[in-house]
Amino acid sequence: MDFILASKSKTRCDILQSAMPPFKSVSPNIDEKNIIKSLLMEDTPHYDIPNVLAEFKARKISTKHPISWVLGCDQILSFDGEVFGKPVSNDALCDNLMLMAGKTHKLITANVIYKDTKPMWRYTAESHLKMYSMTRSEIKNYSETFWHQVQHSSGGYCFENTPHLFSTVKGNWFDIMGISITQVLQFLKQHDRSIIGKTPKIVAVLGSPISHSKSPIMHRHWLKKNKIAGDYIAIDVPKEKFSQTVKVLADVGISGFNVTLPHKEEALTLADSHTEQAKKIGAANTLFVDINGAIKADNTDGYGFMANLKANNANWLPSAGSAMVLGAGGAARAILVSLLEAGVPKIYLSNRTMATSQKLADYFSPKIEVIDWDKKDTCLPNISLLINTTSLGMADKPPLNINLSSLAKKALVTDLVYAPIKTPLLVQAEEMGCDIVTGVGMLIHQGVPGFNGWFGILPKVDNEITELVTR
One pLDDT digit (tens) per residue for the chain, 471 residues:
799 999 999 999 999 999 988 899 999 999 999 999 999 999 999 999 999 999 999 999 999 999 999 999 999 999 999 999 889 899 999 999 999 999 999 999 999 999 999 999 999 999 999 999 999 999 999 999 999 989 888 889 999 999 999 999 999 999 999 999 999 999 999 998 777 889 999 999 999 999 989 999 999 999 999 999 999 999 999 999 999 999 999 999 999 999 998 999 999 999 999 999 999 999 999 999 999 999 999 999 999 999 999 999 988 999 999 999 999 988 899 999 999 999 999 999 999 999 999 999 999 999 999 999 999 999 999 999 999 999 999 988 899 999 999 999 999 999 999 889 999 999 999 999 999 999 999 999 999 999 999 999 999 999 999 999 988
* pLDDT given for residue 419 in this prediction: 87
* pLDDT given for residue 85 in this prediction: 86
* pLDDT given for residue 131 in this prediction: 98
Torsion of the alpha carbons at 314, 320, 324 and 325, rounded to the nearest 10: 40
Based on its alpha-carbon atoms, the radius of gyration of the chain, rounded to whole angstroms, reads 26
Q: Smallest Cα–Cα separation from 250: which of 238, 239, 242, 260?
A: 242
Cβ atoms of 131 and 166 closer than 8 Å? yes
* pLDDT given for residue 41 in this prediction: 96
Q: Which domains does the chain have, with CATH numbers?
A: 3-191 (3.90.950.10), 201-295 (3.40.50.10860), 302-438 (3.40.50.720)
Cβ atoms of 146 and 114 closer than 8 Å? no
* pLDDT given for residue 314 in this prediction: 87
Active site residue 33: no
- The CA distance from 427 to 430, in Å, is 5
* pLDDT given for residue 437 in this prediction: 97
277-280 contacts at long range (C-beta below 8 A, 24 or more positions apart): 277/302, 277/337, 280/337
The CA-atom distances, in angstroms, between 27 and each of 8, 38, 121, 164 are 5, 22, 20, 32
* pLDDT given for residue 155 in this prediction: 87
Residue 94 phi/psi, 5-degree rounding, is -60, -40
* pLDDT given for residue 193 in this prediction: 79
Tens of pLDDT, residue by residue over 35-56, are 999 999 999 999 999 999 999 9
Within 6-48, residue ranges assigned H as helices are 10-19, 32-41
* pLDDT given for residue 146 in this prediction: 92
Q: Are strands 435-437 and 230-236 parallel, antiparallel or unpaired?
A: unpaired
Q: Are strands 322-326 and 383-388 parallel, antiparallel or unpaired?
A: parallel
* pLDDT given for residue 197 in this prediction: 87
* pLDDT given for residue 150 in this prediction: 92
Residue 372 phi/psi, 5-degree rounding, is -55, 140
Side-chain half-sphere CA neighbours of 91 within 13 A: 0
Handedness of CA 402, 405, 406, 407 (dihedral sign): positive
Candidate list 60, 264, 296, 376, residue with the active-site label:
264
| Burial of residue 422, with CB atoms counted within 10 A of its CB: 0-12 exposed, 13-18 middle, 19 or more buried | middle
- The CA distance from 429 to 415, in Å, is 11
* pLDDT given for residue 228 in this prediction: 96
